[in-house]
Amino acid sequence: MLEDVTVLILTYNEAPNIERTLQKLNWANQIVIIDSFSTDKTLEILALYPQIKTFQRKFDTHAIQWNYGLEQVTSEWVLSLDADYVLSDELISEIQELSDDSAIDGYFSRFKYCVFAQPLHGTILPPRQVLFRKNKSIYIDDGHTQLLELKGKSAMLKSYIYHDDRKPLSRWLWAQDRYLVIEAKKLQELSVHQLSWSDRIRKQTILAPLLVLLYCLIIKGGILDGWRGWYYAFQRTLVEIILAIRLIEIKISDT
C-alpha cells in the first residue's frame, strides 16, 4: 500500500521535532506539509526533502487546517501525522503489508508516549485514526483539537507510533493554555448527555486533577518510569488544573 499513501503533516515552529519524524518517512513518495508560517528553522528542514510539498496557510482551527491539507492530497490513502509522531519500524512494515482490496477504509494506531526520548509504560493519549481513504473522510472540530469522520469500516493497527515532543516546556505551556480556553468553552456549552464520561468528570473541576495524577502513576504505570513518569503525570495533572481554573473563571464571570 505504501506507493499509494500521501503523508499529511501540520507544522508551526516544529524544528525540534520534524526532522526525526521525516527520517522515518523516506519510503513516502509524497509528503504534504501545511505550515502556519513558521518562524524557526522548520521550513529550512523541509526544503531538504524533495518529496515534500509545502503549503502555507494561516491557522484558524485544526479541522479547517487538516481539511485544507486533504484538498492538496491526490492519492487514495492519507497518513495523517502530527509533527512529533515518529513511526516505529513495525508500523511501517504493517502498513506496507495492508491490502488495497480490503473492506477497511481507515486504521487507528496506538501510541507510546516519550519523555526526553524514552518511551513510558503507558499514556492517556487515546488511539487515533491516522490512515484512511481520502474520499471517505473529513475532519470536524472537537474542542481544541479535531476528530476524523470516516464513512466506512475501521480497524486497529497492531504496532505503535512514538509521540516524542521535544519542544521546550515554555512552548508546551503556551500551547496548553490556548487549547484549554477552547476546551473549557466546549465543556461549558455542551449538555451533560453530550459529553463523554471523562469530560463529565472534567466539568466538575474538583476531581479531575487528582484522578489524572493517580491514573498516570498507578493505572498507566508511570511510577515505574521514575522521574520521567512523574514528569508526565505532573504535566497531565497541570493540564487538568488549568482547565479547572478556566471553567471556574467562566462560572464566576457568568454570575
Query: Which domain, by its residues, includes 231?
Result: 169-254
Question: What local confidence, expressed as pLDDT, does residue 102 receive?
Answer: 83
| Overall domain count for the chain | 2
Tell me what pLDDT residue 54 has.
98
Are 224 and 102 in the same domain?
A: no
Q: Residue 143 — very low, low, confident or very high, per pLDDT cuts 50/70/90?
A: confident
Output the pLDDT for position 192.
Answer: 82
Predicted local distance difference test score (pLDDT) of residue 14: 97
| CA atoms of 208 and 200, how far apart (whole Å) | 9
Start-end of H helices in the chain: 18-23, 42-46, 62-71, 89-96, 169-189, 197-203, 207-214, 227-254
Does residue 180 register a pLDDT over 70?
Answer: yes
- The yes-or-no verdict on residue 251 having pLDDT over 90 is no
Cβ-contact 225, 121 below 8 angstroms: yes
- At residue 74, does pLDDT exceed 80? yes
136 and 198, same structural domain? no
The reply to whether 148 and 54 lie within a common domain is yes
Q: Give the whole-angstrom CA distance, residue 57 versus residue 136.
A: 24
What is d(CA 124, CA 220) in angstroms, rounded to the nearest whole number?
Answer: 8
* Pair (154, 176) in one structural domain: no
Neighbouring CB atoms inside 10 A of 189's CB total 9
- Let me know whether 212 and 159 are in one domain: no
The model's confidence at residue 2, banded by pLDDT at 50, 70 and 90, is: low
Angle at 9 between CA 109 and CA 195, to 5 degrees: 55
Same domain, 131 and 154: yes
Measured CA to CA, the distance from residue 221 to residue 80 in angstroms comes to 28
Lowest mean pLDDT among 158-162, 179-183, 218-222: 179-183
* Percentage of the residues of the chain whose pLDDT score is greater than 90: 81
Helices (H), 79-156: 89-96
Domain-terminating residue out of 130, 163, 196: 163
Cell 479547517 locates to: 64
What's residue 199's pLDDT?
A: 87
* CA gap 22, 50 in Å, rounded: 12
- Shared domain for 134 and 85, answered yes or no, is yes
Mean pLDDT across 118-144: 93
How much is the average pLDDT of 142-155? 89
Does position 224 have pLDDT exceeding 70, yes or no?
A: yes
- Of 148, 163, 178, which marks where a domain is finished? 163
Dist. CA 109–CA 128, nearest whole Å:
6
29 phi/psi in degrees, rounded to 5:
-75, -30
Both 222 and 98 in one domain: the answer is no
Tell which wins on pLDDT, 144 or 68.
Answer: 68
What is the chain's mean pLDDT, rounded? 94
Q: Which of 163, 181, 203 is the last residue of a domain?
A: 163
pLDDT tens by residue, 17-72 = 999 999 999 999 999 999 999 999 999 999 999 999 999 999 999 999 999 999 99
Confidence bin at 144 (pLDDT 50/70/90): confident
Same domain? For 40 and 108 the reply is yes
Q: Quote the pLDDT of residue 255.
A: 67
Same domain, 59 and 139: yes
Q: What is the pTM of this model?
A: 0.91
- Specify the pLDDT at position 198: 86
Dist CA 72 CA 235 (whole Å): 35
- Tell me what pLDDT residue 196 has: 84
203 and 233 assigned to the same domain: yes
Which pLDDT score, from 0 to 100, does residue 1 have? 64
Q: Which amino acid is at 23?
A: Q
pLDDT band at 3 (very low <50, low <70, confident <90, very high): confident
CATH number of residue 158's parent domain: 3.90.550.10
Mean per-residue pLDDT, 184-202: 86
The cell for 126 is: 487515546
Residues 47 and 119 in one domain: yes
